[in-house]
Chain A
Amino acid sequence: TQLLKQSPQFLSIQEGENLTVYCNSSSVFSSLQWYRQEPGEGPVLLVTVVTGGEVKKLKRLTFQFGDARKDSSLHITAAQPGDTGLYLCAGGSGNTGKLIFGQGTTLQVKP
């Protein structure tokens, strides 16, 4: 059974601080996606990484896929209150369309 473990599960920080969220597995994934979900809404895709060692940047967010394609990280620089939400990583494998989701990291950024 493929599992994705996210850490930390909850993070409360002050505006301007940096943070890193980790997504780890013992399984290899063909791709790793990061979503953000706000209360009352569905998850929205932030980025997809597909190559081992790949790094993608989205403004103040930096995403990295591990060399072995078993883990990923999300780093936010100078967090803002608008970054508050639930961050989900999801691993894809093969051609089934199935995504394995981590349990999520709830981020709260205080002004």
Chain B
Amino acid sequence: ETGVTQTPRHLVMGMTNKKSLKCEQHLGHNAMYWYKQSAKKPLELMFVYNFKEQTENNSVPSRFSPECPNSSHLFLHLHTLQPEDSALYLCASSQDIEGIHSNQPQHFGDGTRLSIL
């Protein structure tokens, strides 16, 4: 039990489908993150939310749309994805992103394995 739960664990979708990834953290954290992990590439930060406000969009294409309704939940809405978007999508949380807490660890979920047909 990592404290960060992601659903679904696996998702196969066509390029024209619309789907959403869900992340929930039970750690009382205020910051949440989306990462993309592709084979043989470093983990890529996609989005950062701090106290429900987006603080970072790492030049992510608009076919990925994040939503953070509260500090415990984070969604990634997917629409018209491309085959190169197939990857493991990881959600993480941390206490917050600022000040003396900036060196705190990020707690990761186990990811959603996404395959685009």
A95 touches B99 (CB 8 A): yes
Instruction: Give A83-101 interface residues, CB cut-off 8 Å to B.
Output: 88, 90, 92, 94-101
Interface of A is mostly: loop
Check: A24 CB closer than 8 A to any chain B CB. no
A44 touches B108 (CB 8 A): yes
B105 touches A48 (CB 8 A): yes
Q: What count of chain A residues pass the 8 Å CB interface test?
A: 27
A-B contact count (CB 8 A): 69
Q: How far is the CA of A88 from the CA of B105 in the complex (A)?
A: 13
A30 touches B102 (CB 8 A): yes
B106 touches A45 (CB 8 A): yes
Q: How far is the CA of A102 from the CA of B45 in the complex (A)?
A: 12
Nearest A residue to B9, CB-CB = A40
Given contacts A42-B2, A42-B4, A42-B90, is CB(A99)–CB(B42) below 8 Å?
Answer: no
Q: Spell out B's residues near A (CB within 8 Å).
A: 2, 4, 31, 33, 40-43, 45, 48, 50, 55-56, 90, 92, 94, 96-99, 102-111
A42 touches B108 (CB 8 A): yes
Contact of B48 among A44, A88, A97 (CB under 8 A): A97
A92 touches B110 (CB 8 A): no
- The winner among A90, A94, A99 for most chain B CB atoms within 10 A is A99
Nearest A residue to B48, CB-CB = A97
7 nearest A-B residue pairs (beta carbon): A97-B97, A42-B108, A101-B43, A45-B105, A31-B103, A95-B98, A101-B42
A-B contacts, 9 listed (Cβ < 8 Å): A40-B110, A41-B110, A42-B4, A42-B90, A44-B2, A44-B108, A94-B102, A95-B97, A98-B56
- Taking CB atoms, residues of chain A closer than 8 Å to B41 are 103
- Taking CB atoms, residues of chain B closer than 8 Å to A102 are 42
Given contacts A33-B105, A101-B42, A103-B40, list 17 more A-B pairs with CB under 8 A. A30-B102, A30-B103, A31-B103, A42-B4, A42-B90, A42-B92, A43-B108, A50-B103, A90-B43, A92-B102, A94-B102, A95-B102, A97-B55, A97-B96, A98-B48, A101-B43, A103-B41
